[in-house]
Amino acid sequence: MSAPALLNTDGTASMATLLMMSHHGLRRDAARLTTGLRAVRDDDRARAAALKEGWEGFKLVLHGHHEAEDQRLFPSLRSQHADLGAAIDSLAADHRTIDPVLERLHVSMSELPAPLARDAALAIMNDLNALLDRHLASEEASVIPILRKVPLQAMPPMPEGELAMMSEGLAWSAEGVAPDIFALATAAMPELVLAKVSAAKVAYAAKCERIWGGVSNATSRTADGAPLT
């Protein structure tokens, strides 16, 4: 099944756009980690160190994504759409299934570039990819149609202490997404957030250069996370 479009059929951005930009980023970085694990050599400590840094960032983002859904998005949807109860229960259960896989992968990643650790990490990464693909597709089938009807202006005000974290998340999710879509997705955000996003993008690009050799030049219009160019 192909990933859904980031914009609504009328060309507008919605709360679904922001969530699917995160899905795009998760798929993008999972693919990077998988490719990196396949390519890393036994003696390549520099590449192993970069992969470990990429993994730490991916794990942090995925945990944060699931936490935001469990604590904010899912309770809100459940209270307004009783018919989504079973789907939300299933999505929350997916989070609990994925967590121990992340911990297993963390152990193997921490032991790179040892050959046995690389092989174990790649096997677990393949398991994670299968779980994540199914989970994201389920979420896009059940939750995204509802969020497409929610305008960006409905986003609750962000506490000032979370603005930096939000700007970093937007810089991360923007990579590989068509610039006009990112502009539409952030148009309703406060100027203070947009100012922080500009600085966050610079820092994020430097991080990508260090870990992956540069940022993706893709201009995706879907939540596919690929191709990386």
Question: Which among 155, 135, 151 is positioned nearest to 143, based on CA atoms?
Answer: 135
Q: Which residue has the higher pLDDT, 159 or 201?
A: 201
Q: How much is the pLDDT for 226?
A: 65
Q: How much is the pLDDT for 191?
A: 85
Tokens encoding 119: 């092989």
* Minimum mean pLDDT range among 15-19, 163-167, 215-219: 163-167
- Measured CA to CA in angstroms, residue 85 lies from 33, 91, 124, 150, 184 at distances of 33, 10, 30, 19, 31
Q: Band the pLDDT of 97: cuts 50, 70, 90.
A: very high
**Mean pLDDT, range 113-129, rounded to an integer:** 96
Q: How much is the pLDDT for 193?
A: 87
Q: Band the pLDDT of 229: cuts 50, 70, 90.
A: very low
Q: Please, what is the Cα angle at 227 between 223 and 229, to 5 degrees?
A: 135
Q: How much is the pLDDT for 50?
A: 97
Q: What is the pLDDT of residues 165-211, one digit of tens each?
A: 899 999 999 999 999 999 999 998 888 888 899 999 999 999 999 99
Q: How much is the pLDDT for 160?
A: 75
**Mean pLDDT, range 132-153, rounded to an integer:** 97
Q: Which residue has the higher pLDDT, 5 or 161?
A: 5
Q: What is the pTM of this model?
A: 0.96
CB atoms within 10 A of CB 129: 15
Report the phi/psi class of residue 158: left, alpha or beta, with left for phi > 0 and alpha for psi in -120 to 50.
beta
Q: What is the pLDDT of residues 53-79, one digit of tens each?
A: 999 999 999 999 999 999 999 999 999
Q: How much is the pLDDT for 228?
A: 56
Percentage of the chain modeled with pLDDT above 90: 85
Q: Band the pLDDT of 43: cuts 50, 70, 90.
A: confident
| Burial of 130 per CB tally in 10 Å (0-12, 13-18, 19+) | exposed
Q: Band the pLDDT of 1: cuts 50, 70, 90.
A: low
| Burial of 68 per CB tally in 10 Å (0-12, 13-18, 19+) | middle
The structural domains of the chain, ordered by start, are 15-160 (1.20.120.520)
Average pLDDT, the chain: 94
